[in-house]
Amino acid sequence: MGPLIGCSIAFFVIFSLSIVIWTFRDIRSRTQDFLTQILATVLVAVFNIGGLFIYMILRPRQTLAEIYERQLEEESLLAEMTERQTCTNCHARIEGDFQVCPSCGQKLKRPCPKCERLLELRWTFCPYCATNLTGAPSMQNMPGVPSMPGSGMQMGGPVTGNRF
């Protein structure tokens, strides 16, 4: 009977020590607060299995690694949402150089007749070559508009028309 009691006591001591170590390692992965780490470990060391149950109820839900991973995922989704362009008609994902939506055929942009660069539909002037897109009188030969050196075009006067 003596060796059986000795083995039982050794098992209980090793088991108690192992749950204290497991608790310390688990709480370290869940919080950086040193006081919380010590209190959780002491709780399990003093109350053994009962302390382990109390710790399991009160411990933080997520580990620090899980929290960090979730934050990275949220930042990634936020960055993707801000970069992502969508069709105004059907909200399908589009690229910045699409002229029409591939899903619904909505016209998104138009090429400049002079420089061939893609322009927003609402623009009345090409910002790349200053071509008037509405067919209204050009800014050339307008009184009070100084000409740009090295260019046949004149710039700097008031711009008429809807700019938005």
Residues 6+ apart with CB under 8 A from 67: none
Question: What pLDDT, on the 0 to 100 scale, is given for residue 18?
Answer: 97
Query: What pLDDT digit, counting tens, does each position of 76-107 carry?
Result: 888 777 777 888 889 888 888 888 999 999 89
CA distance 142 to 157: 8
Whole-number pLDDT of residue 50: 95
pLDDT confidence of 1, banded at 50, 70, 90? Answer: confident
Domain ranges within the chain, ordered by starting residue: 12-65, 78-136
The H-assigned helical ranges of 59-163 are 64-83
Enumerate residues 6+ apart whose C-beta is below 8 A from 64: 29, 30, 31, 32
Cβ 112 vs Cβ 124: under 8 Å: no
Q: How far is CA 158 from the centre of its chain?
A: 41
Q: Between these two residues, 117 and 158, which has the higher pLDDT value?
A: 117
pLDDT tens readout for residues 119-143: 888 889 999 998 888 865 544 444 4
- State residue 72's pLDDT score: 94
pLDDT digits (tens, 9 = 90+) for 20-49: 999 999 999 999 999 999 999 999 999 999
Percent of the chain clearing pLDDT 90 (strictly above): 51
The angle subtended at Cα 53 by Cα 50 and Cα 59, nearest 5°, is 135
